[in-house]
């Protein structure tokens, strides 16, 4: 998953500051995600999970309230059919948003975890990872459809 993030950043990085910052947030999210299973079950686990959940919520918010909006505006401005294709991706992305929000609600605080809680956490973390991977692919497609496809049409001064 981390390799896909690097290639996406190389592919889309530099397109705009908003997308660059967002992709940096994605990379941080992935890094925190892949290291969570390595964490010992001790007092530090709760802090690590809280940090992961905060970065995840920031990433989701930035996508929904900043990046997608900008991309959809660009698709509208070019009026080439890309807007409709981009809008069709949003409900698919929303599925992973709901999974992430549920994860945050259920596990953002792991003070005094039990064996049962850790088992549930592990199962939900795996499910979240699958959802995030699909989300990243959909987001990259949205960038390709709504931004990169217009790259040659934009005059840079």
Would residue 139 count as lying in a domain?
A: yes
Task: Give burial (CB, 10 Å; 0-12/13-18/19+) of 18.
Answer: middle
Quote the pLDDT of residue 7: 53
Would residue 36 count as lying in a domain?
A: yes
First vs last C-alpha separation in the chain:
36
DSSP state for residue 41 in the 8-state scheme: S
Would residue 141 count as lying in a domain?
A: yes
Structure tokens at 47: 């802090």
- Measure CA 7 to chain center: 15
Quote the pLDDT of residue 4: 55
What CATH number did the domain enclosing 116 receive? 1.20.120.1370
Would residue 90 count as lying in a domain?
A: yes
For 25, the domain range is: 2-149
| Whether 103 contacts 128, CB under 8 Å | yes
Mean pLDDT of the chain: 85
Would residue 154 count as lying in a domain?
A: no
Q: For the chain, how many structural domains are there in total?
A: 1
Quote the pLDDT of residue 90: 95
Quote the pLDDT of residue 154: 45
Q: What is the 3-state secondary structure (H, E, C) of 60-82?
A: HHHHHHHHHHHHHHHHHHHCCCH
What residue ranges of the chain have pLDDT lower than 50? 8-9, 11-15, 154-157
Sign of torsion, CA 62 139 77 155? positive
115-145 burial string, b = 16+ CB within 10 Å, else e? eeeeeebeeebeebbebbbebbebbbebbeb
Quote the pLDDT of residue 103: 98
């Amino acid at each position: 998953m981390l390799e896909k993030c690097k290639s996406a950043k190389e592919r889309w990085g530099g397109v705009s500051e908003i997308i660059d910052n967002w992709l940096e947030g994605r990379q941080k999210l992935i890094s925190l995600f892949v290291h969570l299973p390595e964490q010992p079950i001790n007092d530090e686990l709760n802090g690590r999970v809280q940090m992961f959940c905060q970065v995840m919520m920031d990433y989701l918010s930035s996508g929904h309230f900043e990046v997608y909006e900008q991309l959809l505006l660009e698709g509208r401005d070019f009026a080439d059919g890309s807007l409709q294709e981009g809008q069709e991706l949003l409900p698919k992305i929303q599925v992973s948003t709901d999974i992430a929000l549920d994860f945050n609600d259920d596990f953002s605080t792991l003070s005094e975890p039990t064996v049962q809680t850790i088992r549930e956490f592990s199962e939900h973390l795996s499910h979240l990872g699958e959802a995030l991977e699909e989300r990243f692919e959909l987001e990259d497609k949205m960038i390709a459809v709504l931004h990169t496809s217009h790259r040659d049409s934009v005059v840079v001064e």
